[in-house]
A = this chain, B = another copy of it.
Amino acid sequence: MPVSIEDVAQRANVSISTVSRVLNRRNIVNDKTRKRVELAIQELNYRPNVFARGLMLQQSNILGLVLPDLHGEFYSEIIRGANLKAHELGYQLMVSSAGGNHDGNTVLSAVSNHGLVDGIVVMVSDIDSKTKKTLGQVMIPFVVLDGQVEGVKHDSVVIDQRHGAEAMVKHLINDCGAKRIVFVGGLKTNIDTIDRLEAYKDVMQRASLPVNDDDVYHLDFSYEKAFQLASKLVEDWADTSAFVFAANDEMAAGIIDAAIEKGISVPDQLRVVGFDDTRIAQMTRPRLTTVHVPMSSMGALAVEVLCQRLKDPQRPPTKMTLQSDLVVRESCGSATAESL
C-alpha cells in the first residue's frame, strides 16, 4: 500500500536516483525530467519514508522536549512556544514528562540513545535530580532549560530570576512599605525556589530587614497546599502586616483565597504577590502583582538554540538568558497598579 520511491521512479520513467535528486534538490535535474517526477510524486501522493531516510542520514528532524511535569499552565506554555518554533524550523516535537510515576532517566535515555531524536531540550528543575546524571551520558546535543549541569558541555537557556525577584522584594519594601515578608516556595531542592529565595534574602538583608527562617515555607507549588498553609497562618500574617511572596501564581492564588475565606481583605489587610505571570495572575481578585516569566519564549528559544547547535556542532556552548520583569497589579496594595 505505501508508495515508495521505486513506484515514483517507474511512473516517471526514471531511476530512483533521479527521484531522490529531485527530492533533495541537490544536483541539477533536467527541467523536463523534474516536472515529470514531481507530477508522479503528486499523483501518487508520495512521501519519503522517514525511517529509510533517517537510516541513511542519521537524523530524524525530531526534537525531544523533556519536562519535569506536564501539569499546569507553566509547562503548557513552554510546550506551546517550543512546538511553534520547532515547526517553524522544520522539526517535529516529541514531548515527555520526566516526572509522574515514571523514571525520568528511563524516558530520557530511551528517547535520546535510541537515536530517534536529533537533540533534546531538557528542563531540570530539581537540583540533584537523577536526570542530571543521566544527561552526562546523553550522546546527542541537548540544551538545558532553566538550569546547568556541571561537568558536561551543553547549551542552556536560563531565566534571570534574580532580577525579577529582587525587583519584586524591593518594590514591596520601598514602594509598599513592607517590614516583614513571608516567603512561600516550592521544594527546597527546586532550582527556581532556590534562586528566588536567595534574591529575597539578599534584598531583605540589604534593606536591614530580618530574615526569619520561620517565615520561609517550602511547599510544592500547588494551590491546595498553599491554601491549607495559609488557612492556618493568614490571620497571624494579617495581624503583623506581613507581606506574602509566593514563588508562583498558583500558590499566591491559594493564599488569597484562604485569606478571603477568613474574611481578610487582600490587599487591605494582607498583601500577596506571586511569580510567573501565568493567566491565573489576572484572574484572581485582586489581580496578582507578580514577576513575568516569558514561558513560551523559553520554549521557543531553547528549540532555536538547539537547532543552531544541530547546524553547527562545533560552536562553543551558548548560554542565553531571558529576563524576568516585575508586573505590578493590585494584590500588593501598591498605588501604581497597571490597568487591565
Q: How far apart are the CA atoms of A54 and B1 in the complex, in Å?
A: 16
Interface pair B107/A62, CB less than 8 Å apart? no
Q: How far apart are the CA atoms of A260 and B284 in the complex, in Å?
A: 11
Interface pair B80/A70, CB less than 8 Å apart? yes
Contacts of A79 in B (CB 8 A): 70, 76, 79, 95
Which B residue sits closest to A79, measured CB to CB? Answer: B70
Interface pair A96/B73, CB less than 8 Å apart? no
A289 to chain B, nearest CB (A): 16
Interface pair B47/A51, CB less than 8 Å apart? no
Interface pair B96/A95, CB less than 8 Å apart? no
User: How would residues 273 to 294 of chain A score, 1 for a CB under 8 Å from any chain B CB and 0 otherwise?
Assistant: 0000001101111000000000
Is the C-beta of A253 less than 8 angstroms from some C-beta in chain B?
A: yes
Contacts of A113 in B (CB 8 A): 45, 47
A292 to chain B, nearest CB (A): 17
Contacts of A280 in B (CB 8 A): 280, 283
Q: How far apart are the CA atoms of A227 and B279 in the complex, in Å?
A: 14
Total interface residues on A, CB under 8 Å, equals: 55
Contacts of A54 in B (CB 8 A): 50-51, 54
Contacts of A253 in B (CB 8 A): 283
Q: How far apart are the CA atoms of A49 and B280 in the complex, in Å?
A: 44
User: Looking at the complex, which one of B52, B55, B97, B227 makes contact with A83 (CB distance below 8 Å)?
Assistant: B97
Contacts of A110 in B (CB 8 A): 47
Q: How far apart are the CA atoms of A174 and B284 in the complex, in Å?
A: 30
A102 to chain B, nearest CB (A): 6
Contacts of A75 in B (CB 8 A): 76
User: Looking at the complex, which one of B51, B76, B97 makes contact with A70 (CB distance below 8 Å)?
Assistant: B76
Which of A5-13, A86-94, A160-168 sits within the interface?
A: A86-94
Q: Which of A47, A137, A223 has the most CB of B within 10 A?
A: A47
Which B residue sits closest to A87, measured CB to CB? Answer: B102
User: Looking at the complex, which one of B60, B87, B97, B223 makes contact with A107 (CB distance below 8 Å)?
Assistant: B87
Of the A-B pairs whose beta carbons lie under 8 Å apart in the complex, a sample of 22, sorted by A's number, is A1-B139, A45-B137, A47-B114, A47-B115, A48-B114, A62-B116, A70-B76, A70-B83, A79-B79, A79-B95, A87-B100, A92-B96, A92-B116, A93-B95, A94-B95, A95-B95, A227-B340, A250-B279, A253-B283, A280-B283, A283-B283, A283-B284
Known A2-B139, A92-B96; further 18 A-B contacts with Cβ < 8 A: A1-B139, A45-B113, A45-B137, A48-B114, A49-B55, A51-B51, A51-B52, A51-B60, A55-B55, A70-B80, A71-B80, A72-B279, A73-B73, A84-B102, A92-B94, A92-B116, A223-B279, A223-B283
Q: Which 3 A-B pairs have CB atoms at the shortest separation, nearest pair first?
A: A76-B76, A51-B54, A51-B55
